[in-house]
Structure 1
Amino acid sequence: MSAAPRMGIAMLRAALAFGLAAIVVALSWVWLGTPVNMPPSPLAAGEKLYCVSYAPFRGTQTPLDRTLLIPREQIEQDLARLAKVTDCVRTYATELGLAAVPEVAAKLGLKVLQGLWLGSDPVRNAAEIETVVKLANEHRDTIRGVVVGNEVLLRGEMSDVDLAATIRTVKAQVPVPVTYADVWEFWLRYRGLASAVDFITIHILPYWEDVPVSVDDAGRHINEIESKVAATFPGREILIGEAGWPSAGRMREGALPSPANQARLIHDLLALAKRDGYRVNVIEAFDQPWKRQLEGTVGGHWGLFDATSREAKFALGEPVSNRPFWLWQAIAGVVLVLWVGGIAHLVAHRHGKVVKVGWPAWAGLSLIAVSAGVFVPMAMEAAMLESLGWDGWLRNGALVLAAALAAPVAAAVLVEHRPLEGFGVVLDPAQRMVTDPWIKAPALLLIVVTVLAIQGVLGLVFDPRYKDFPFAALTAAVVPLAVLAFYGPRGPQLAGRAEFAAAAVLAFAAVYLPLNETIANWQALWTAGLWLLLAVTLWRVRGVRS
């Protein structure tokens, strides 16, 4: 067969392979971005939320900075926005400028559940008590109640005896009801506290339960706990002081943070609260970026409003998309497919020759292109959400860069019909004479991806509670390398101790992670599967040229 017909057949195969990949990528993003339908709004026309937790911190502002003073204008802007959706805000302290909240709230027609922060420092506690007593007496028509202490028993910073005495001291000086707020289990553990308060305030966060609850059961779980506490304290008024769901972050067993799941929990919770006649304070008004330092990505995404735009994440009763920018991500994904296809085409037609590529290789090229088109845009989105501090940006940036380069490099090497070589071709001084980029580049990528994967292993095995699962970037990085290892030729199998050791670590972690996170956590299962795939890839290339 002459060169022209061969070239025509090759171009037809390329068009079919990458055209199909582009269609798969586009349909994948349509599916990922399709809004999730919500139940009808549980609130009547004009009805607002009973109360919402409010903290004013934006950007780099943090209550951990004791020199910070929140501008009054910032509080005014926030409360003006919140007044459209709620009748009340709950605060947690008066320091750092928060003492201005009752006065601002009064002008906007809002009520306040005034927080009084207690900790292990008696001097700071005394100053907080003095300020709150003054505010409660000056704004008795605005302040619905005083919350004396928030989860101080959970943190172990006061005894129940000292706490009860403090509550009674405050109660004797203010003209409004007084309560204490803590995780619901602590009310059952320290039942004597009930005699010191006017009403009982419990926190129920299904995501953070010792046994996490999925969003499908979260509303029912909160309702059951409220009933359990009410039965324990018959005749006492119960306020759910914190209930909500995160919109981003890592899964905990079957509890998946997402915008749609956050909206779903709020819908279910408000409907049940209205049906059974109890009050709920939703946590929280605005996303709080500073919490990421303490609780990882998930800690900064409990708000009903976005931290940066200050816009609502969803409207009650309306569908919610987990990926509102899916169209742009789909376009980027299709462009990546075409980029991978273009690289493969150029390599296949270098020097005026047509490199023969069989159907198995075209299938591998299609898989490489799909992995890039779906998971590179997803990885970039995840990096924007999950990166914290220079080290976080460096780590996630390196992984996203490796993910973006893996597809075109793997496509070129697959077309060249070269093997995926081991670490030695880059690290062994004896291999310095090997300068072919189609040998060096994939081996270097393999090293980088392996190092980043093992760094993730160490975090998720030894300190996993607040660590995210990097499944998107790992998919885009590992799949092209695995395709090379399985479709490409294999070189001589020599020692390969480094590859074998890395594969052993990854394989062990791949078994451990689902056992630790449970099989309900699909993010953990996916990540473990990628670790195992990378381990097999390393096993297949171990020792080549080592």
Structure 2
Amino acid sequence: MVGGHGGDAADTGGLLSGGVNTSVPLGENARGVGGGGGSAGNIVAAGTVKKESDWLASQKHSKKKTRIIAIIVVLILLLAIAGGIAAGVILTKKKPSSKSSSDNSNSSNDSTDSNGKKTTTPTSSKDTGKWKDYLDNPALHKVFHGIDYTPLDAQYPECLHKPPTQAQVNIDVAIMSQLTTRVRLYGTDCNQAEMVLDGIKTTGVDMKIWLGIWLDYNATTNARSLVHMYDILDKYPASMFEGVVVGNEVLFREDMTASALSTVLKEVKTNLTAKGINLPIGTSDLGSNWDSSLASSVDVLMANIHPFFGGVAAENASTWTMSFYDTNNLPKAKAASIRGMISEVGWPTEGGTLQGSVAGVDELNTFLNDWVCQKNKDGTEYFWFSAFDEPWKVMYNEPGKEWEDKWGLLDANRKIKANVVIPSCN
């Protein structure tokens, strides 16, 4: 979402009546800035020693790989500076291709880079009206409680050279408005939050956002994200927001301790109250990472739970997900007298198999049919991961495990995937 790096967690616990292990770490976003992720584990029978799952081992490898990628990016930037980029010089956007130039204008938004220096990220203020061509799609139904979303090209620092455009985001907003009335974001870099809010204004659709704030182990990044959050909340009316999500899978990646994260959450809550902003505050993490102390720091417990990474068959995914949530998360939310929700749940449409889970369209349809209408009926709050494929995540694919970039209901070209059937729920 702006999203995630790697991490690991492991718990032990009993089995549900159906042989389901409800104690394994489950979540999304083990992938890198912008979103992605997943979790799983091995079933533990009474009297046995828990063995590290194949998934968990891969996540440790993913964490190391992501950190290496981050180090390489930093080294490249440092080399560029040493090669003649003077301090304070603004990185400029490459000249757009003829294919995309019509979607860009000369406007820009000021922000700061990870070192606190002023930068200018080009954006588009021009409304081309193309979003109108994407309305009234009979294949789409407004049946999802919420949708997880990150605009294409919204990963920092790549967006300094190839930023998302307002025209593209307007199209995405128009499409998502036919699926849900609420969208969850993962960060504020590359002016993505402003673009989504402006897109809602331009299209006039019925939609609110959960504003996402990216946190990691970098104090400078965290400070920049929080300052940007306050600025956004000052500029846009509170009626456009449904809540604020401060951090995604921070504990899973081991970027911060639970104590440090709780301190940030409490400070945000205090500051928003002082500013007269009354919005629920949450942080999303693997379902198994929630404890009573963290729950006491938020207004809503947001658990990322992905049955695919639990290694279960699609026909058991809906039951498995709710069993995990009801066992691991709902009691903690009730004990803290706060709301509970599933902040990520979904299924990849291709890429391989993981134990009993098969990435495929048929499997996605099975899960959709078992989940969406029933969860709407029983009042479960959830965000479907995700609206669109995210092609930048292909870097995290591995042989036989090539699903990282294939979690969207629609492909990267904003077309609903072949044979995907979204329930109408009457």
Q: Normalization by structure 1: what TM-score?
A: 0.47
Say if 1:148 and 1:62 are closer, same or farther in 2 by CA, change over 3 A: closer
User: Partner letter of residue 125 of structure 1?
Assistant: N
Provide, for residues 490-538 of structure 1, a one-character-per-residue CA deviation record: whole Å limited to 9, x for no partner: xxxxxxxxxxxxxxxxxxxxxxxxxxxxxxxxxxxxxxxxxxxxxxxxx
Tell me the residue number matched to 2:168: 74
Verify the 8 A CA contact 2:217 2:255 in the aligned structure 1: yes
User: Is it true that 1:205 corresponds to 2:273 in the alignment?
Assistant: no
User: Is it true that 1:154 corresponds to 2:252 in the alignment?
Assistant: yes
For residues 365 and 156 of structure 2, the distance between their equivalents in structure 1, rounded to whole angstroms, comes to: 28
For residues 98 and 308 of structure 1, the distance between their equivalents in structure 2, rounded to whole angstroms, comes to: 18
For residues 99 and 161 of structure 1, the distance between their equivalents in structure 2, rounded to whole angstroms, comes to: 28
For residues 255 and 303 of structure 2, the distance between their equivalents in structure 1, rounded to whole angstroms, comes to: 18
For residues 89 and 245 of structure 1, the distance between their equivalents in structure 2, rounded to whole angstroms, comes to: 18
What secondary structure sits across from 2:282 in the alignment?
A: strand
Verify the 8 A CA contact 2:145 2:376 in the aligned structure 1: no
For residues 239 and 118 of structure 1, the distance between their equivalents in structure 2, rounded to whole angstroms, comes to: 20
User: Partner letter of residue 131 of structure 1?
Assistant: H
What secondary structure sits across from 2:197 in the alignment?
A: helix
Say if 1:46 and 1:75 are closer, same or farther in 2 by CA, change over 3 A: closer
For residues 133 and 53 of structure 1, the distance between their equivalents in structure 2, rounded to whole angstroms, comes to: 22
| The one of 239, 245, 250 aligned to 2:352 | 250
For residues 186 and 105 of structure 1, the distance between their equivalents in structure 2, rounded to whole angstroms, comes to: 34
User: Is it true that 1:86 corresponds to 2:180 in the alignment?
Assistant: yes
Verify the 8 A CA contact 1:287 1:304 in the aligned structure 2: yes
Say if 1:309 and 1:237 are closer, same or farther in 2 by CA, change over 3 A: closer
Tell me the residue number matched to 2:89: none
For residues 104 and 317 of structure 1, the distance between their equivalents in structure 2, rounded to whole angstroms, comes to: 26
Q: Normalized per residue, which structure has more helix?
A: 1
Structure 2 unaligned segments of length 5 or more: list them.
1-139
For residues 136 and 121 of structure 1, the distance between their equivalents in structure 2, rounded to whole angstroms, comes to: 23
Say if 1:63 and 1:250 are closer, same or farther in 2 by CA, change over 3 A: farther
Structure 1 unaligned segments of length 5 or more: list them.
1-44, 319-546
Tell me the residue number matched to 1:178: 281
Tell me the residue number matched to 2:239: 141
Tell me the residue number matched to 1:194: 295
For residues 99 and 225 of structure 1, the distance between their equivalents in structure 2, rounded to whole angstroms, comes to: 31
Q: What aligned pairs does 1:351-430 form with structure 2 within 5 A after superposition?
A: none
User: Partner letter of residue 298 of structure 1?
Assistant: W
Tell me the residue number matched to 1:490: none
Tell me the residue number matched to 1:65: 158
What secondary structure sits across from 1:281 in the alignment?
A: strand
Q: What aligned pairs does 1:234-383 form with structure 2 within 5 A after superposition?
A: 234=334, 235-296=337-398, 297-311=402-416, 313=418, 314-317=420-423
| The one of 262, 265, 282 aligned to 1:164 | 262
Provide, for residues 331-376 of structure 1, a one-character-per-residue CA deviation record: whole Å limited to 9, x for no partner: xxxxxxxxxxxxxxxxxxxxxxxxxxxxxxxxxxxxxxxxxxxxxx
For residues 280 and 85 of structure 1, the distance between their equivalents in structure 2, rounded to whole angstroms, comes to: 13
Verify the 8 A CA contact 1:248 1:257 in the aligned structure 2: yes
Q: CA deviation at 1:48?
A: 3.1
Verify the 8 A CA contact 1:205 1:243 in the aligned structure 2: yes
User: Partner letter of residue 372 of structure 2?
Assistant: L
Say if 1:215 and 1:270 are closer, same or farther in 2 by CA, change over 3 A: same
Q: CA deviation at 1:316?
A: 2.4
User: Partner letter of residue 421 of structure 2?
Assistant: A
Provide, for residues 117-174 of structure 1, a one-character-per-residue CA deviation record: whole Å limited to 9, x for no partner: 0011111111111111222342310110000000011011111111111111111233
Verify the 8 A CA contact 2:372 2:423 in the aligned structure 1: no
| The one of 326, 333, 349 aligned to 1:233 | 333
Tell me the residue number matched to 2:197: 102
Provide, for residues 178-222 of structure 1, a one-character-per-residue CA deviation record: whole Å limited to 9, x for no partner: 0010010001xx32011110010001101123xx11111110011
For residues 172 and 149 of structure 2, the distance between their equivalents in structure 1, rounded to whole angstroms, comes to: 9
Q: Normalization by structure 2: what TM-score?
A: 0.59
| The one of 46, 55, 70 aligned to 2:150 | 55
What secondary structure sits across from 2:358 in the alignment?
A: coil
Identity of aligned residues (%): 24
Say if 1:102 and 1:208 are closer, same or farther in 2 by CA, change over 3 A: same
Tell me the residue number matched to 1:520: none
Q: CA deviation at 1:246?
A: 0.3
Verify the 8 A CA contact 1:102 1:143 in the aligned structure 2: no
What secondary structure sits across from 2:251 in the alignment?
A: helix
With CA pairs under 8 Å and 6+ residues apart, which has the higher RCO, 1 or 2?
2
For residues 92 and 166 of structure 1, the distance between their equivalents in structure 2, rounded to whole angstroms, comes to: 17
Q: Normalized per residue, which structure has more strand?
A: 2
Provide, for residues 379-424 of structure 1, a one-character-per-residue CA deviation record: whole Å limited to 9, x for no partner: xxxxxxxxxxxxxxxxxxxxxxxxxxxxxxxxxxxxxxxxxxxxxx
What secondary structure sits across from 2:224 in the alignment?
A: helix
Say if 1:170 and 1:74 are closer, same or farther in 2 by CA, change over 3 A: same
Verify the 8 A CA contact 1:53 1:281 in the aligned structure 2: yes
What secondary structure sits across from 2:192 in the alignment?
A: helix
User: Partner letter of residue 312 of structure 2?
Assistant: V
For residues 206 and 52 of structure 1, the distance between their equivalents in structure 2, rounded to whole angstroms, comes to: 17
Q: CA deviation at 1:65?
A: 2.3
Say if 1:309 and 1:74 are closer, same or farther in 2 by CA, change over 3 A: closer
Verify the 8 A CA contact 1:286 1:305 in the aligned structure 2: yes
Question: Runs ≥4 in structure 1, deviation > 4 angstroms?
Answer: 61-64
For residues 173 and 161 of structure 1, the distance between their equivalents in structure 2, rounded to whole angstroms, comes to: 18
What secondary structure sits across from 2:403 in the alignment?
A: helix
Structure of higher CA gyration radius: 1
Q: CA deviation at 1:64?
A: 6.1
Verify the 8 A CA contact 1:72 1:97 in the aligned structure 2: no
Aligned residues: 268
For residues 179 and 333 of structure 2, the distance between their equivalents in structure 1, rounded to whole angstroms, comes to: 31
For residues 323 and 378 of structure 2, the distance between their equivalents in structure 1, rounded to whole angstroms, comes to: 11
Q: What aligned pairs does 1:391-470 form with structure 2 within 5 A after superposition?
A: none
Q: CA deviation at 1:79?
A: 0.8
Q: CA deviation at 1:275?
A: 3.9
Q: CA RMSD in A?
A: 2.1
What secondary structure sits across from 2:353 in the alignment?
A: coil
Q: CA deviation at 1:317?
A: 4.0
Tell me the residue number matched to 2:321: 222
What secondary structure sits across from 2:316 in the alignment?
A: helix
